Amino acid sequence: MDVSYLNTFLAVAGWPNSSKATGQLNLFQQTVTARIKRLEASLFLRGAAGAGHTEARVRLQGYARSIVQLSEFAQRAVTVTDQASPSQHAKGR
């Protein structure tokens, strides 16, 4: 699963509708809608009142937070490593 989909999932889960999440994610509504449609079969129940919660959605929410945080941590760690001087890279080999 793409981490960006998990970010979208968490943003939508935090709002009563996906239009609020678009602002938080800085994405077009169409992008958020497309991502959610790919997830909603197993995670959301659509009704007249909007997105409901399934048991799978509640379980995934905790995992999604952990995965997104770990992904962000790894990106920062790699960025710091990539910014080290060439002599530091040579010493590490």
Mean pLDDT in residue range 5-26: 86
pLDDT of residue 27: 94
Q: For the chain, what's the residue count?
A: 93
Q: Identify which has the larger pLDDT, 17 or 52.
A: 17
User: Is the entire prediction scored with pTM above 0.85?
Assistant: no
Alpha-carbon dihedral sign for residues 70, 74, 75, 80? positive
Distances (CA, A) of 72 to 4, 37, 79: 11, 25, 11
